């Protein structure tokens, strides 16, 4: 059967979500990709920190001091995030939302938060302030006004979900990219894998694997000659000021995405420890000062 290449791009989770598939005809490709985008939209409604009515943001309001049951999807992403927080001593931490908000404010005002504001936001952050109950599939927050933020992990998970949908629609030869997160399924016909271009030059090949890039070079605000990246260093409460590019290849998108963000915070040589914790993951970090 002759397969043809189809490519689609739609904005999801604040980035271009690109899907490339090989399918026997356009109708099959469109049907499969439409279902994949619908799935990503559902996940966005669960996990967005921008939408006031997302499941995540409602959770932040309701779960202060009491258990709130959440969807299986939201729970599994929070669970993975919390596990990685424990493994990295909080370098990766989905409770940094209040600090992310301060960073966004700094980006628009060009000013760092004052000390008291920073201290208050730090008091509302920290993975130990979030409790998860596997039995109840529920979340409890220890402090009011916490902001959860899945920006470092949800896109990889969404790519994984999209690939699963495409397979279910009989289109397993697919590649999904959301910003710096890529998940590849079966390879294109007559190719060993999907050729992916790397930001620093060169290419790599992916099949049934994921590749994520994180770092301080894309999104940052410069204040008094210092660049603060959109990734928060929980040790300072501010954006990373080191120049760093972290890349992770792993078996699935949620792993690659979250480990890449964690690796950017950890830097060398600590990031390499992640390879021992996640079988099959390859972590590389390039940084300066």
Q: Which residues bind ligand AMP (CB under 6 A)?
A: 92-94, 96, 100, 149, 151-152, 180, 214, 230-232, 234, 257, 260-261, 264-265
Choose among ligand AMP, Mg ion, none what residue 274 binds, the Cβ cut-off being 5 to 8 Å by kind: none
Does 152 engage in binding with Mg ion (CB under 5 A)?
Answer: yes
Q: Which is nearer to ligand AMP, 44 or 257 (CB)?
A: 257
- The tokens of 146 are what? 């916490």
**107 CB neighbour count, 10 Å cutoff:** 16
Query: Least distance to ligand AMP from the beta carbon of 260, Å?
Result: 6
- The tokens of 198 are what? 């790397």
Query: Least distance to Mg ion from the beta carbon of 224, Å?
Result: 28
Distances (CA, A) of 147 to 129, 170, 273: 11, 39, 28
Q: Which is nearer to Mg ion, 44 or 257 (CB)?
A: 257
- The tokens of 243 are what? 């120049």
The whole-angstrom distance between residue 58's C-alpha and the CA centroid of its chain comes to 20
Choose among ligand AMP, Mg ion, none what residue 73 binds, the Cβ cut-off being 5 to 8 Å by kind: none
| Binding test (CB under 5 A) with Mg ion, winner from 80, 257, 263, 281 | 257
Secondary structure percentages of the chain, helix, strand, coil, to 5: 35, 30, 35
Binding track over 164-183 against Mg ion, x by CB under 5 A: --------------------
Query: Least distance to ligand AMP from the beta carbon of 133, Å?
Result: 22
Q: Which is nearer to Mg ion, 188 or 215 (CB)?
A: 215
| Binding test (CB under 5 A) with Mg ion, winner from 261, 264, 281, 283 | 261
Query: Least distance to ligand AMP from the beta carbon of 141, Å?
Result: 17
Q: Which is nearer to ligand AMP, 23 or 47 (CB)?
A: 47
Choose among Mg ion, ligand AMP, none what residue 231 binds, the Cβ cut-off being 5 to 8 Å by kind: ligand AMP
Q: What is the layout of strands, in order, in the sheet containing 209-215?
A: 4-12, 15-23, 174-178, 181-184, 209-215, 243-250, 282-288
How does DSSP classify residue 129?
G
**247 CB neighbour count, 10 Å cutoff:** 24
The whole-angstrom distance between residue 288's C-alpha and the CA centroid of its chain comes to 23
Q: Which is nearer to Mg ion, 181 or 186 (CB)?
A: 181
Distances (CA, A) of 251 to 156, 183, 203, 214: 11, 9, 18, 17
216 in helix, strand or coil?
Answer: coil
Choose among ligand AMP, Mg ion, none what residue 232 binds, the Cβ cut-off being 5 to 8 Å by kind: ligand AMP
Which residues of the chain form contacts with Mg ion (CB under 5 A)? 152, 214, 257, 260-261
């Amino acid at each position: 059967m002759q397969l043809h290449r189809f490519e689609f791009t739609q904005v999801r989770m604040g980035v271009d979500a690109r899907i490339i598939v090989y399918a026997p005809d356009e109708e099959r490709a469109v049907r499969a990709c439409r279902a994949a985008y619908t799935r990503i939209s559902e996940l966005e409604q669960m996990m967005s920190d921008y939408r006031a009515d997302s499941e995540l943001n409602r959770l932040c309001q309701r779960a202060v001091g009491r258990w709130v049951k959440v969807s299986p999807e939201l729970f599994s992403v929070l669970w993975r995030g919390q596990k990685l927080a424990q493994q990295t001593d909080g370098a990766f931490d989905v409770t940094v939302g209040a600090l992310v908000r301060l960073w966004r404010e700094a980006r628009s005002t060009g000013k760092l938060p004052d000390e008291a504001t920073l201290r208050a936001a730090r008091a509302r952050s920290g993975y130990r302030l979030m409790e998860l109950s596997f039995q109840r599939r529920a979340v409890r927050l220890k402090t009011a006004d916490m902001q959860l933020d899945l920006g470092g992990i949800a896109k990889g998970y969404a790519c994984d979900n999209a690939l699963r949908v495409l397979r279910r629609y009989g289109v397993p030869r697919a590649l999904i990219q959301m910003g710096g997160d890529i998940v590849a399924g079966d390879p294109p016909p007559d190719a060993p894998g999907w050729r992916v271009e790397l930001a620093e030059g060169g290419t790599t090949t992916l099949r049934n694997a994921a590749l994520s890039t994180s770092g301080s070079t894309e999104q940052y605000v410069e204040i008094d000659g210092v660049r603060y990246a959109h990734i928060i260093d929980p040790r300072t409460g501010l954006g990373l000021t080191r120049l760093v590019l972290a890349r992770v290849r792993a078996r699935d998108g949620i792993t690659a995405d979250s480990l890449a963000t964690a690796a950017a915070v950890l830097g060398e040589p600590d990031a390499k420890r992640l390879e021992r914790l996640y079988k099959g993951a390859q972590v590389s970090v390039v940084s300066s000062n």
